[in-house]
Amino acid sequence: MMLEGRHVVLGVTGGIAAYKSAALASKLVQAGAEVKVIMTSHAEEFITPLTFQALTRDVVYDDTFAEKEPEKVAHIDVADWADLIIIAPATADILAQAAGGHAVDMLTTTLLAARCPVYAAPAMNVNMYEHPAVESNMQTLKARGVRFIEPGAGYLACGWVGKGRMAEPEDITAFLSSENDQNQSAFSGKKVLVTAGPTHEYSDPARVFTNPSSGKMGFAAAAEAAARGADVTLVAGPVQLETPPGVQRIDVTSAEEMYETVTGLYPDVDAVLKAAAVSDYRPSAVYPDKTKKQDGTLTIEMERTKDILAELGHQKKNQLLIGFAAETTNLEAYAQSKLERKNLDMVIGNLIGTGDTGFESDTNEMVILRNGYEPQKLPLLTKTETAVRIFDAAEPLLKKDES
């Protein structure tokens, strides 16, 4: 998924999230894009034009009337040059101005002159984001074709907790990459189901059996699928992670809840990537009250949970089915066995048990096994990079299923 050679105009407005826009400019340049930055006067209260000039190696536009080239009208020239415009952060004020068709500065005049796709990454206080006026302005802009990159929820600079935090630069870059390249992806327009995180199996209201899965790999996979133009549903166990832009999320707790949710969705999807670390066992009895501490040992009888992946393999018709195999030893052999036993199209063998790989880490060392292909060993990569490699490997399998 590349922005190689694309002309990107980055509009930076006056919000605290403007500091993220510097990282976004850098990410876009690293992705191969040519970037021109337009700043509002309020944006310059938070970050200087020199920062963006250094990152993009290009002039920064901040004044409609600074016509430095007599043969050109700057805002028309920039609008004609752009392949896409991304406003990040998109404050409540710039959304109102854009919805009203105002032309008060370099950014708004360029927006009026632009005929390329326009994207906006909102960033504001949660109460502002939910205000009817802001919602109305966003609906107006959506009706005109502006694409919104949803903000995240969490602690905001103002001290409130809620939705309104600008999407992370890497997520915005991935979203823009997908928009400009998704027609080349076999996943474009497909329904993809991703599972992520652990499950919790309670023995009483105070005690739970679980595993160290952070959900990071599944969330990275969901983000990558969305970046390739897929309609993504993410079924997540109990994790504290932000939902990737463009992804529909369903939260579950237990293995049984995940089983019911996933099997219910399965008939209507084109592909499944099951990255969740589902508990293999659960307590046979769940006590309604907290069990009291006592002398000696405690024995808790456990029973098997339903094997979700095996059930999906049994029910499989035309779906592309991808599983994970987390192992400490004999990684490739165990992964190959899982590929065959559970009727999978692809399995990702995940080495766990070291400090740099597996559960809770930010990196993975994996092997990809596919029916009809040689094993593909991946070096130590971030989970975001691993997700890209996984979907690169899955592309020909999905295309093969369509042929």
Known binding-site residues for CTP equal: 280, 290, 324, 338, 342
Partners of 165 in the β-ladder: 152
Report long-range pairs for 365-368 (Cβ below 8 Å, ≥24 apart): 367/331, 367/332, 367/335, 368/393
Residue 116 is a catalytic residue: no
The beta-carbon contacts of 347-351 under 8 Å, at least 24 apart in sequence, are 347/322, 347/323, 348/322, 348/323, 348/324, 348/390, 349/324, 349/325, 350/217, 350/324, 350/325, 350/326, 351/327
* 247 neighbors 232 (Cβ within 8 angstroms): yes
CA 67 to chain centre: 40
CA–CA distance, 167 with 171 (Å, rounded to integer): 6
> What pairing do the DSSP bridges indicate for beta strands 281-283 and 302-304?
antiparallel
Q: Quote the distance between the C-alpha of residue 301 and its chain's center.
A: 39
Query: In sequence order, what are the beta bridge partners of 289?
Result: none
Annotated binding site: 280, 290, 324, 338, 342
Instruction: List CB contacts of 135: < 8 A, sequence separation 6 or more.
Output: none
- DSSP classification of residue 198: B
Of the candidates 351, 168, 185, 200, the residue with the CA atom closest to the CA atom of residue 282:
200
Burial 99-121 (b: 16+ CB within 10 A, else e): beeebebbbbbbbebbeebbbbb
> Cβ of 243: how many Cβ atoms within 10 Å?
17
- The catalytic residue among 96, 116, 158, 300 is 158
Looking only at the bridges linking them, the beta strands covering 207-209 and 366-370 are unpaired
Give the separation between CA 288 and CA 374, rounded to whole angstroms.
Answer: 51
Q: Which two tokens stand for residue 320?
A: 């592309």
- Work out the burial of residue 194: count CB atoms within 10 Å of its CB; fewer than 13 is exposed, 13-18 middle, 19 or more buried: buried
The DSSP result for 298-348, as a single string, is ----EEEPP-HHHHHHHH-SS-EEEEEEEESS-HHHHHHHHHHHTT-SEEE
- Pairing between strand 118-122 and 84-90? parallel
Residue numbers annotated as active site:
158
